[in-house]
Amino acid sequence: MQRVGDFKLPSFFNYPPYFTLQPVRETREKQVQLWKELILDYCRTLKVFTIGLEEDFPLFSNPEIQRTLTHEAREVFLSALVSEGRAEWINKGHKKCLILWMRIQDWADCVLRFVRDNGLEDSVMTVEDIRSGIESRGTELEGIDRTVLMRALKLLEQKGKVAIFKGTSADDEGVKFSA
Amino acid sequence: MRRRPGIAGLQNQAAARDQYRLVGDHVAKLRTDMMKEQLETFRSQLEDFARKHKNDIRKNPAFRAQFHEMCAKVGVDPLASNKGFWAELLGIGDFYYELGVQIVDICLATRSHNGGLINLQELCSLLCQRHKVARDAVSEDDCLRAINKLKILGGGFEVISVGKKKLVRSVPTELNKDHNEILELAQVQGYVIVDEVEKRLSWSSGRAIDTLETLLEEGLAMIDDGHRDGRRRYWFPCVASVPGATG
């Protein structure tokens, strides 16, 4: 079994035709399904938040069988994730994709749990601190993508759970958690 | 005996015929009784044997196959009914019914990958994986017997021979001779190329492409345009030499 870091690749990754978009509908559906699961699993395990379509993303080619996904195939698989709400195109040109292996709602719940566990109600933190501060070390929030975190915080703000404000220095933003 | 005319002669003849028939019947009856007795002895011996080697029959697939062969020779089918002596003694009926259910399960689970055609070897190894917990080995012979039982249900389960391999078909697709020849060719590398099919089978290009297109439509083949030489390969997951994806 092939591995990338800690990630165990599924056996279909070694079967060449899975790297060519299949013309027959049922076969294609199965193919897209397998790739969707693979991309989500991979990103979850290795904490990958963005995939660039033009980049050398490890899943896009398998040197062992000398197969590489075409640009079209990459876009099909990622679009399938987008249509399920498990990914979002970052720019209009479909060049970069944000992978939501946890939905924004789930990330928001993470933030709330984090606040509760650390007794941070009524206190203020910078966004950067949430991502890389001591408190978040070892939690799911460690190293979270800034865009994803901001989206989660905005969702919480809508629900009145936090307040986001511009920081005094630099361009970092501050967050006040409500009790 | 000199033939004498008259009533007495006819009567004598009839009496002699009756006597002969009586003796004949007697001999025949003796023979049948003897045969019956022999068969009875054989049956009880077979039962004794089965009782004695019950565990071997259950655990050892090679032994099980030989036992089946022996039973078939004397006209005993341990699988014929789930109620009879044999099933009760060996629990063999249940064994094959369970196997049948698992085979259906695997065929359904892998259908989207292989189009409903699976290599008997692969099916068998998937079954063994499931049986690891129960620690019972399952042989190809067992699979064939279980599939044979499934036929009664009319679910379209069938074993077909393609080249040296046996494939289990769980969809009602009819495979014609052309399809079979391509599948046989694919067994070498797991895939075929149109040019090669034409060359090896001396087909016209239309015939090869048509056949491959049908197999593609049926979900039995997958295309692969990723090779450096740019020639399209048609892969057949049902004869996969690469470990097939099953879920």
pLDDT tens string A93-111: 778 899 998 988 999 999 9
- In this structure, what DSSP letter does residue B174 have? P
B244 pLDDT higher than 50: no
Q: Does the pLDDT at position B136 exceed 70?
A: no
Does position A60 have pLDDT exceeding 90, yes or no? yes
Judged by CB atoms closer than 8 Å, whether chains meet at B226 and A66 is answered as yes
Angle, helices A25-46 vs B92-114, to 10°: value is: 90
Q: What is the pLDDT of residues B23-70, one digit of tens each?
A: 999 999 999 999 888 888 877 887 788 778 877 777 777 888 888 787
Higher confidence at residue B74 or residue B50?
B50
- B96 or B201, which is more confident: B201
CB distance B58 to B90 below 8 Å = yes
Task: Tell me how close the Cα of B166 comes to any Cα of chain A, in angstroms.
Answer: 22
From the list B64, B244, B73, the residue with the least C-alpha distance to B143 is B64
Contact check, Cβ <8 Å, B226/A20: yes
Average the pLDDT over each of A73-82, A164-173, B183-192, B205-214 and give the range with the smallest value.
Answer: A164-173
B60-to-A119, A167, B2, B68, B137 alpha-carbon distances in Å: 63, 75, 71, 12, 7
Query: Is A13 in a helix, a strand, or coil?
Result: helix
Whether B159 contacts chain A with CB within 8 A:
no
**Does residue B247 register a pLDDT over 60?**
no
CB-CB neighbors (< 8 A) of B216 in chain A? 23-24
Q: What is the largest CA-CA distance in chain A?
A: 58
Cβ separation of B226 and A19 shorter than 8 Å? yes
- Pair A26, B219: CB distance under 8 Å: yes
Task: Return the exposure string of A132-142: e unless at least 16 CB atoms fall within 10 Å of the residue's CB, then b.
Answer: eeebbeeebbe
pLDDT at B246 (0 to 100)? 42
Residue B167, strand partner residues: B119, B160
* Amino acid residing at B39: L
Burial class (CB within 10 angstroms; exposed 0-12, middle 13-18, buried 19+) of B212: buried
- The whole model's pTM is what? 0.71
Among partner residues B112, B226, B235, which is closest to A26 by beta-carbon distance?
Answer: B112
- Statement: residue B102 has pLDDT above 60: yes
Among A63-72, A149-158, B68-77, B218-227, the least confident range: B68-77
Neighbouring CB atoms inside 10 A of B9's CB total: 13
B244 near A CB under 8 A: yes
Contacts of B192 by beta carbon, 8 Å cutoff, 6+ apart = B182, B185, B186, B212, B233, B234, B236
Mean predicted confidence (pLDDT) in A42-71: 90
- Give the alpha-carbon dihedral of B11, B12, B16, B21, to 10 degrees: 0
